[in-house]
Structure 1
Amino acid sequence: MDRILVLGPCGAGKSTLAAELGKRLDLPVIHLDAEYWRAGWIEPPREEWEAKVEELIARPRWVMDGNYGSSLARRLQRADLVVNLDYPRRVFFPRMIWRLLKNWGRTRPDVAPGCDERFDLEFWRYTWRYRIDVEPRRAARIAESGVPVIALRSPREARDWLVQSTETMDSWNPALPRKN
């Protein structure tokens, strides 16, 4: 596994899981929020973002976290595995609120410099409606791609999978989680 996508709703822990996965597998980590945004939460022009995605996915090895539906098809073409944090709203929404409160007015390490944590009603609405508006379309794209998917349905399942799947790379088969 040289190229792993980590997907899921805001607040699920994509960046944290990607960072730990990268560390355990000695893979460089790409946080799309850090690549996409400019200081002050300014979006790049579409053509610039598309070129940036091409540059990022052309790298030989990576763990990449972030949703960004407009680039998902291209990223799936290069990915060896998708790790999907398929958490219920009762898990990810409170985590998103906690992240906001904990980092209020500061820039998290997984976003671009100058993008301080703030309240954004549109972002909250997106997060609240994620399983209704985003997940079904994204799941269909992933299924069409044929890329193997690990669906993790709770933070505990994610922790257990992370430990089991990275203990020994020689016997690691993401399609068949190992039992202890």
Structure 2
Amino acid sequence: MNEKPSDFGGLCFSRVVIVGANGAGKTWLAQRIAQWRGLPGISKDALALTTGWAQRDRAEVQAKVLDAVAAEAWVLEGGPSILLPEVLTRANLVVWLDFPAGLRFRRILWRSLRYLGRVRPEHPPGNRDWPGFRQWRFAWDAIHKDDAFRSAIAAGLANTNVAIIRLTTPAEVTHFLDQIA
């Protein structure tokens, strides 16, 4: 079921998936929803990263995600890999942040500068942001893999019955937050 941005009033939810491409604002939105609704927030990055930006094995990450969503209430944020059938079966709302690649590129660069030399709050210790090839490649991928992200998310959501709200502008996000706050 897809909701129009004006139809948020009256939504009742306690298990929320925030999905989008890099730099879409998933963590920011998930933190606000979790805080306002009194729900625990779950960052896929926190489950997937070890130290030095090393990733856990995919099966281990999926097991951690499934364990986290076994709880009664939560807000889970991440990219298309979180759209597991078991996650979507438990969720009662999906918010898809589908912003233009250029905006996401600028956000990634700004975030990298903002947290330069520090660990972002949603990441485990040992994953400091720094300038360099990794950050530039990450930002570059936000633009050049735009269609791939969108296709992967659309495919992940194709056969689900959970309510899906697709937000394509920061103004729509603001309106959504105004409705649920």
TM-score strictly above 0.5: yes
Amino acid aligned to 2:24: A
Indicate if the aligned counterparts of 1:8 and 1:86 stay in contact, CA closer than 8 A: yes
Aligned to 2:78: 66
Higher RCO (CA 8 Å, separation ≥ 6 residues): 2
**Deviation at residue 48 of structure 1 after TM alignment:** 2.0
Aligned to 1:159: 174
**Deviation at residue 97 of structure 1 after TM alignment:** 0.8
Q: Give identity over the alignment, percent.
A: 34
Q: Runs in 1 of length 4+ with deviation above 4 angstroms?
A: none
Unaligned runs of at least 5 residues, structure 1: 167-180
Structure with the higher helix share, 1 or 2? 1
Answering whether residue 112 of structure 2 is matched by residue 109 of structure 1, we say no
Aligned to 2:153: 138
How far apart, in 2, do the equivalents of 1:70 and 1:9 lie?
12
Answering whether residue 94 of structure 2 is matched by residue 78 of structure 1, we say no
TM-score scaled to structure 2, two decimals? Answer: 0.84
TM-score scaled to structure 1, two decimals? Answer: 0.84
Q: Are residues 79 and 113 of structure 1, via their aligned partners in 2, closer, same or farther at CA, if it must alter by over 3 Å?
A: same
Deviation by residue 1:62-106 (Cα, 9 ceiling, x = unmatched):
011111526533322221111111111122111111111111221
> Which one of 135, 140, 143 corresponds to residue 128 of structure 1?
143
Aligned to 1:171: none
Amino acid aligned to 1:144: N
Q: Are residues 4 and 130 of structure 1, via their aligned partners in 2, closer, same or farther at CA, if it must alter by over 3 Å?
A: farther
How far apart, in 2, do the equivalents of 1:115 and 1:136 lie?
29
Aligned to 2:52: 40
Amino acid aligned to 1:30: I
Answering whether residue 74 of structure 2 is matched by residue 29 of structure 1, we say no
How far apart, in 2, do the equivalents of 1:126 and 1:112 lie?
23
Indicate if the aligned counterparts of 1:6 and 1:64 stay in contact, CA closer than 8 A: yes
How far apart, in 1, do the equivalents of 2:143 and 2:102 lie?
10
Indicate if the aligned counterparts of 2:80 and 2:149 stay in contact, CA closer than 8 A: no
Indicate if the aligned counterparts of 2:45 and 2:78 stay in contact, CA closer than 8 A: yes
Unaligned runs of at least 5 residues, structure 2: 1-12
Aligned to 1:8: 20
Q: Are residues 56 and 86 of structure 1, via their aligned partners in 2, closer, same or farther at CA, if it must alter by over 3 Å?
A: same
**Deviation at residue 23 of structure 1 after TM alignment:** 1.0
Aligned to 2:10: none
Amino acid aligned to 2:141: Y
